[in-house]
Every structure is written in structure tokens, then in C-alpha cells.
Amino acid sequence: MTHPTWTDRLARLVDTALDRSVVLGYPATGHAVRRRLPTWPADPPRNALSGKHVLVTGASSGLGIRTAVDLAMLGAHVHLVVRDPMKAAPVREQLDEVAAGRHTTWRCDLSDQASVRAFAAAYLATGLPVDGLVHNAGIMPPTRQEDAQGRELTMSVHVLGPVALTEALLPALAAARDGARVVFVTSGGMYSQALDLDDLDFRPEPYRGAVAYARSKRAQVELLPILARRWGRHRISVYAAHPGWAASPGVTSSLPGFARLTAPVLRRGAAGVDTTTWLIAATPAPPSGGLWHDRSERPTSYLSRTRASDAERQELWQWVARHAGIAD
């Protein structure tokens, strides 16, 4: 048995201090410092995803573009799953430079269960496996909106749609040669919120978009243990990845004050998607069912008021399964 050296112990103390401080760990400084610690996991080899098929939702803007490009640079055939294929033209141009012939664009509106089922059926018809699935698509509308089924839009796009899509793609995920990996791109905003099982549709007025966003991300994280057990039967690992404070059009448009205040220190480029791509490509696969940030598993709650019980998680799952059309 190998015991940690004093340098490893010091590195873990530094990592924990960065994590708990938030203002040091979440910006670009956190990633820059951690990469230099001796405990930083090794980068995947350049061909780590050669011959593999990885789907990225919301791949036409922000973190989705960089995620798709970085996965392609690791050898993956990247499938861009977007609501409007025309808007994916910029990322296709970038992919042509690094992965010509190794990318495909698909239309899928995650807020519409019929669209989710249609896309999944079309993909399954190709006979291709799904080695990785990145649930990156995200929204933060300023006013309350509903999806095609009458559910609140933020919860639909962040939770119901991704879970329904994963379930519909289970045959292709189960066909992955080395086991598949599913990553939900979450947010540190969820640390401020607890599950509100009495209001998963965010009906009280006034509607607060940032709160709805954070609660939907909390729901993603609380579902992880259930999804890990459910999908683990098919050799599928599932994770949530917190990117830190990363620059994106979504942050600028939805949280302009925060974006202006933090602009000098926001993560840019690969730093904002590093953990997402690492979770898809690392060998061996990291342990399933947890929340990850800067290549380390993190606590899902720091406040007692935000901790969910197993019974609450199960009630959340029953709500999700019912509204996502999943036979439990």
C-alpha cells in the first residue's frame, strides 16, 4: 500500500482551500494552480478517443463549441446535437480544421419530448455506439416559460430532456466497447439551493431565472446516485462536471453584472471544459455517480439546508420519470 507523501498531503490541502474559498478555486486561477500540483491527474493521450463516438448537446455556442473541438482533438467522432443546425456552422468550421470527416450534426430540441424521441430513433438507426454523451445544453430565461409538454423550461432542458435522451439512447450507450460515459455540465450555483419538491415547476411569482437555473442544476446532482445505479447495469458511468466560472455567451446575457465583475478572471478556452473532456477520456474511468470539478470529485453540498435525503432523491426521480415518459 502506497502512503501519500507530504507533498501530496500539502497539494490536497491547497486543493481543498481553493475549493472552499470559491473566489480562488472557481476562476481561472483555480485551474492554473491545480494543474501545477503533483496530485493533478494525467492528461489523456492525444488519441484517447480514437474510433469513439461522443455526442454533445448545445454544441453550437459557448462551452459546447470548445467541448466539441477538444473531444475531436482527442480523436473522437463528435456528434453535434443542436436545436438549430444552421447555428452550428461556426463549430463545424472549427471541426473541419482538426477533425475533417469526423463530425455530424443532428437536430434535437431537448425541451420537446417528441424531438428527443425522433433524434434518438434516427441515431439508433445508424447502428453506431454512443461512447460518450455530454449534456451541455443550458438556458436561463428571464421569465417563466414552458416546454411543449407544459413543464417549466429550465427544468425541462437541464433535467427532463437529458434524462429522456439518455434513456432513449440506452441501446447505443450499452454497445460502447469500453463502457459509456454520460456527463451533465452543472453549475456551482446549485450549492446555494436545495431541492424544492413542492415547486419543481417554479410557479410562484415573481419568477427568478437564476434561482430556477440553480435549482435545476441541484436536481441534476441529486439524481446522480439513482442514475449511476440505473445506468450502471448497462456499463454506463455518469457524472456531473462543474466548469468553474467560465466565460460564455450565456453568462454574459443572463448574468451581465456577474460577467462584468468577474470578466478578468473567468476561465477561457480549454480551462472551462477541462473536467468535462477529462471525464469522457480518462483511463480508467473515474468512479461513477459523483460531482467533479478540476478533475477531482467534490462534495455536493456544503450547507445542511441544501442536503437531500434518499427519500427526497427518490421522490425527485419519480417526478422526472413521470414527466420524461420513463417506465421506472
Residue 105 is placed in which grid cell? Answer: 450534426
Say whether pLDDT at 288 is over 60. Answer: yes
Catalytically active residues are 213
Question: What pLDDT was estimated at residue 72?
Answer: 98
pLDDT given for residue 259 in this prediction: 59
pLDDT at 106 over 60: yes
**C-alpha span between 195 and 206 (Å, rounded):** 18
| pLDDT of res. 261 | 65
Residue 46, pLDDT > 60, answer: yes
Contact 214, 187 (CB under 8 A): yes
* pLDDT of residue 248 exceeding 70: no
pLDDT digits (tens, 9 = 90+) for 256-276: 766 576 667 688 888 999 999
**Which structural domains are found in the chain, ordered by start?**
1-40 (no CATH), 48-323 (3.40.50.720)
pLDDT band at 32 (very low <50, low <70, confident <90, very high): very high
The pTM for the full model equals 0.94
Per the DSSP assignment, residues forming a β-bridge with 106 are: 81
Nearest alpha-carbon partner for 189 in 263, 101, 250: 250
With contact defined as beta carbons under 8 Å apart, do 274 and 282 qualify? no
Is the per-residue pLDDT at 180 higher than 70? yes
* Mean of the per-residue pLDDT values of the chain: 93
Query: Is the pLDDT confidence value at 206 over 70?
Result: yes
DSSP of 203-263: -SSSP-HHHHHHHHHHHHHHHHHHHHHHHHTTTEEEEEE---SB--HHHHHH-HHHHHHHG
Per the model's pLDDT, the better-predicted residue between 7 and 119 turns out to be: 119
Report pLDDT digits (tens) over 228-242. Answer: 999 999 999 999 999
Model pLDDT, residue 1: 53
